[in-house]
Every structure is written in structure tokens, then in C-alpha cells.
Amino acid sequence: MNLALFTPEEFSRPLPRSDRRAEHLRRVLHADVGTSFDAGLLNGPRGKATVTALDANTLTLSFTATAPAALADPLVLLLGLPRPQTARDILRDATTLGVSALHFIITERTDANYATSSLWRDGAWRRHVIAGAEQAFSTQIPDVTVGRTLAEALDELAPDTRRLALDNYEAPSSLAGHAALHDANAATPVVLAFGPERGWSAADRAQLRAADFQLAQLGERVLRLETAVIAALTLVKAARGVL
């Protein structure tokens, strides 16, 4: 944990010693009254937190902001809903790399039962994006949605975005150096679409093309979805000059 993230309310009441952040403070930082550490408010400023009181059951903290909230990177991911374990990895790692939104969608080849997993049903997904932000020393966590159809997600995309869909079979060119990224910069909004683990169907591709997506590929090797997400984000961020 490079940065501990909190809600504003958590600084107004004692933190239970069973809380994962409290355990980290005691076991890793050996925190005592007066110990300061890097902290931030979710989607807010970054700064320093200080242990102001400590007993057998709780820690009390104060917070001083030292840096304003960062702007979200205008990168949006559309992802055919994968298995929960794969989704957990993507939630964490895409947040670490910096995206503004992750939309897990239902496509023709998606197993819709994945949407009923406890990851989504109980809100467990949230701890994975928080872990990704803490790793990146960032307070920003992306917007996350799950369960919309591909058509619904496409209808709600903002206009004036570069739109690229990763595809192993019909993409005419590589994502690296793609024409859509030639004049991109850090402020250029980009939407990247990834099919589910069984790939896009012909109907999915038709919908994507109708919504002005261009198909691109990552080379001859077939990658796991979570690996493809990291590879594609790295190439896009490099093209936009933000790596």
C-alpha cells in the first residue's frame, strides 16, 4: 500500500483496529501516536494523515491535504464481462494504469451469469479499484458499471472520442502506431473496447463499426483478456505521451 485512501467521514471517527488500513499501519509501519503517513481522500486531495490517538480497539487519525485532486485520464474501457477472477485483475490493474471508466458489458458471447457474482452483487469490486489506486499513489478511482448490453453502452458514449476495438481476427492493423492515435495527446479522449474471453461475434463487430469503432490488434499471439488490457493501455498511453 503506497497510499492509504479514506472517505472524509473516516477522519471524523475512530478507525477499528480490524480495518485493513489500521492493520497495515500497525504491522508494517509500526505506527504509534504521532506517526504520519501518505494518505488521500477518494477522488479528492492527497496529503498526510497522522495517528492522533490509539487504543486496543481503534486508531484516530487527522488529515492534512498537500496536493489537489488530479484530473482523471480520459481513457474509457468497454469490456465483455469476464470471469470474476479476471475482472478483479482488470479492476485493479486498469486503475493502477489510470483510466476514467470501466464498463463491463453483456455481449453476444458473454456468460450473463458472471453478472450475478458476489464481486458485483455485494460491491466487492470497489476494494479492487481502491487497491489499484493505492498502488499507483493516486486518489482517483474510475467509474465502474456492469450489466449493460453492448448496444446500450455504445449509445451512451460521449461524442468526439477516438474509438478502437481490439480484435484478433478481422483487425486490419496493429494498435501500435494506429492512425487514430497519430495526433493524440494526454487530453484526447479514447475508448478501448475488448470482447469477452470468447471474443467478439459478427453481430458485435457490426455494432462496433456502426458506432465508428476501428478494429485493431496486438499481434499474432492470443493474449488473456487481462494481459491484453495492460498491453493496449500501455500502447495508448505511450502514443498520448503520458508514460
pLDDT digits (tens, 9 = 90+) for 16-67: 999 999 999 999 999 999 999 999 999 999 999 999 999 999 999 999 999 9
Whether residue 94 has pLDDT greater than 80: yes
Q: Tell me, what's the pLDDT at 77?
A: 98
* Topology classification of domain 4-67: Ribosomal Protein L25; Chain P (2.40.240)
Strand ranges inside the chain, DSSP E: 4-6, 15-16, 36-41, 46-54, 58-67, 75-80, 101-106, 143-149, 162-166, 190-194, 214-216
Q: Predicted confidence band at 177 (pLDDT cuts at 50, 70, 90)?
A: confident
* Contact status, residue 230 vs residue 142, Cβ threshold 8 Å: no
Q: What percent of the chain has pLDDT over 90?
A: 83
User: What pLDDT shows up at residue 9?
Assistant: 94
pLDDT exceeds cutoff 90 at 242: no
Predicted confidence at residue 142, as pLDDT, reads 97
- Which CATH code fits 75-239? 3.40.1280.10
The pLDDT of 76-105, averaged and rounded, is: 97
What pTM was computed for the model? 0.94
Q: Please determine, for residue 187, whether its predicted confidence score (pLDDT) is greater than 90.
A: no
